[in-house]
Amino acid sequence: MFKKILIANRGEIACRVIKTARKMGIATVAVYSDADADAVHVDMADEAVHIGPSPAGQSYLVADRIIAACKATGAEAVHPGYGFLSENAGFCEKLEAEGIIFIGPKVKAIQAMGDKITSKKIAAEAGVSTVPGFMGLIENADHAAEIASEIGYPVMIKASAGGGGKGMRIAWNEAEAREGFERSRSEAASSFGDDRIFVEKFVEEPRHIEIQVLADGHGNCIHLGERECSIQRRNQKVVEEAPSPFLDAQTREAMGAQAVALAKAVDYQSAGTVEFIVDKDRNFFFLEMNTRLQVEHPVTELVTGIDLVEQMIRIAAGEKLALAQADVKLEGWAVESRLYAEDPVRNFLPSIGRLTRYRPPEEARLGEALLRNDTGVTEGSEISMFYDPMIAKLCTWAPSRLEAIDAMSEALDRFVIDGIEHNIPFLTALMSHPRWREGRLSTGFIAEEFPDGFAPPAPAREERSVLSAVALAVELLRRDRLDRLTGRLAPHSGELKRDWVVRLDDDYLTASVVEGMISIPLEMDVRIEDGQAVTVSSSWRPGDALWQGQVGGRSVSVQVRPVLNGVRLAWRGVSATARVMLPRTAELDRLMPVRTAPDTSRLLLCPMPGLVVSIAVAEGQEVKAGEVLAVVEAMKMENVLRAERDCTVARINAAPGDSLAVDAVIMEFD
């Protein structure tokens, strides 16, 4: 067994590998760029080596610097995590030449499966079902349109070396095929240094289901069941689960057998994932094989009890698999939510900045459920524009699927993040979505259910009552705290006022204190509108970001953030601004004029912090609705900005290569 390994990665996956290595008694070496000098993985490792500037192309993607760090520290092996150099055959060859072990498959398997065109040919030869398509390289946009027409729309345009949703476009007609080819090729060149593109048939109503395999260097190969990864946005997975609510035992066995057959066909050694597209009739087609650890591997670990990182290390050290296929048992259900630094109400655009508050729920049991949080940040960490926007992977395990989902909903309610925008509101709303809870999924789920983007739903009657009760409790404690501050000119005196009005966004709800007094912990009976009196109890203190307690005997975790004259509350995917007033104040408040947002219809604003890739128009040019105006890149993804209406370009304020902040004016229109 190795005495010391180097982790050629950053963030949560670097921390994840370090945890297992520490458990196995193996010393660890971290590498870091300028942007990651104070990162969590650097502090966790036994040693750390600086490898270059912030851009990944000058640090984490430079194989020679990783190898130099191995030599300087005496690391015997390298775990690549995922992304960066994890599927780079050239990196593996360089390690092998230096006598350093790569904790992953051999070069042959990476080369065969890393190229999507080659991998499909090998899969077909191994008896694996494949999607119809053109496996040759596409030369230009005209060629792409010609091939797409022959296959039949819709088609999927893909980068041969792609992954993580980059370099992928769906085309429904010739125009989209041409533009999709150009965008996919540009993204592929930027992300992978390889602009080869191919086209295949797009399976409608598809599910994305993948099989986890483990294979050693002694001819043993097993699979660990499947993961359902159909909840995706822009081909990027958002929520995963194991097992799939769709597969039956027969289909699971057939998919597992094909995954093992493919792994054996390329002499695979390590943990790997064979991805399939599954249609509504449970027909499945090979998509690709990821020759690395997957982001979503924790859900497999939770339902099998097998540490995949440990297995990878043992296999790389030459050990035989200690497990046979008959030893693999799937128990319970696991769900993973990817927490991203992105704004769900602004079409999920990236958000960067410092985590002024980062307080995840404690990793522990929630009743019968188990909570796990894989993360690489802490309070005060910087979310950088240079890397993937994932903050953490929150996972829950429970005996059944709905129990795991309910545990996830509770855990998301308890997750406190401030300083940046994040997708927790969307994830929390998703957990209560009927179609998700019923397991009626496809990779088009988010586009179909949120066609106009995401907006936090308005509170229903029950939610309004809970949020109003919490708002009243918060306001009474806030007022009591002010009265106790020294130097107050006229502190409150007399009996507690019983009658109040809670303004919840634009609704006014009557609220009354039936019984109780102001204290910490708080316990009082309140009535909202004409409902029954309910007991509200909590140990919340003014300033806390999370209100945890009971409302009418129900456990509640509500996010609380101060706003002008009130608080912003979020719970179970709904959010509202609450202002608590005396009845007379509420009467006057109803008469106040409403402020309207400024008109920005004549401006093209940068929707996220990013780099201007291109400007497609000139000053004075007339453009039609839908025409491309500019392309902005953020976190390695290109975002095409189009005209929303017919107009004339009056002024252009940005140029290719400019780095812009969110809402910076790119151009103005007449």
DSSP structure string for 419-441: SS--SHHHHHHHHT-HHHHHT--
Strand-pairing partners, residue 202, are none
What are the CA-CA distances from residue 516 to residues 112, 494, 534, 548, 578 (Å)?
A: 70, 15, 12, 18, 22
Spatial CA neighbour of 236 closest among 80, 432, 439, 443 = 443
| Burial (0-12, 13-18, 19+ Cβ within 10 Å), 310 | middle
Spatial CA neighbour of 268 closest among 123, 141, 157 = 123
Give Rg (Cα) of the chain.
Answer: 27
Separation between Cα atoms, residue 45 and residue 69, nearest integer Å: 14
Q: Catalytic site residue 76? A: no
Contacts of 146 (CB under 8 A, 6+ apart): none
Q: What is the DSSP letter of 35?
A: G
Separation between Cα atoms, residue 578 and residue 562, nearest integer Å: 10
Catalytic residue among 87, 240, 288, 421: 288
Which amino acid is it at 19?
K
**Half-sphere exposure of 55 toward its Cβ, with a 13 Å CA cutoff?**
6
- The 3-state secondary structure of 583-610 reads HHHHHHHCCCCCCCCCCCCCEEECCCCE
Spatial CA neighbour of 298 closest among 334, 332, 330 = 334
Separation between Cα atoms, residue 383 and residue 263, nearest integer Å: 37
| Burial (0-12, 13-18, 19+ Cβ within 10 Å), 488 | exposed
Q: What is the DSSP letter of 56?
A: G
Q: Which two tokens stand for residue 5?
A: 């390994």
**What is the distance in angstroms between the CA of the first residue and the CA of the last residue of the chain?**
69
Q: Are 396 and 334 in contact (CB under 8 A)?
A: yes
Separation between Cα atoms, residue 470 and residue 499, nearest integer Å: 15
Q: What is the DSSP letter of 202?
A: P
Contacts of 378 (CB under 8 A, 6+ apart): 40, 355, 358
Separation between Cα atoms, residue 220 and residue 268, nearest integer Å: 10
Q: Which two tokens stand for residue 317?
A: 């050290």
Q: Which two tokens stand for residue 199?
A: 């086209």
DSSP structure string for 287-311: EEEE-S--TTHHHHHHHH---HHHH
What phi, psi does 533 have (nearest 5°)?
A: -65, 135
Q: Are 227 and 279 in contact (CB under 8 A)?
A: no
Which residues are known catalytic residues? Answer: 288
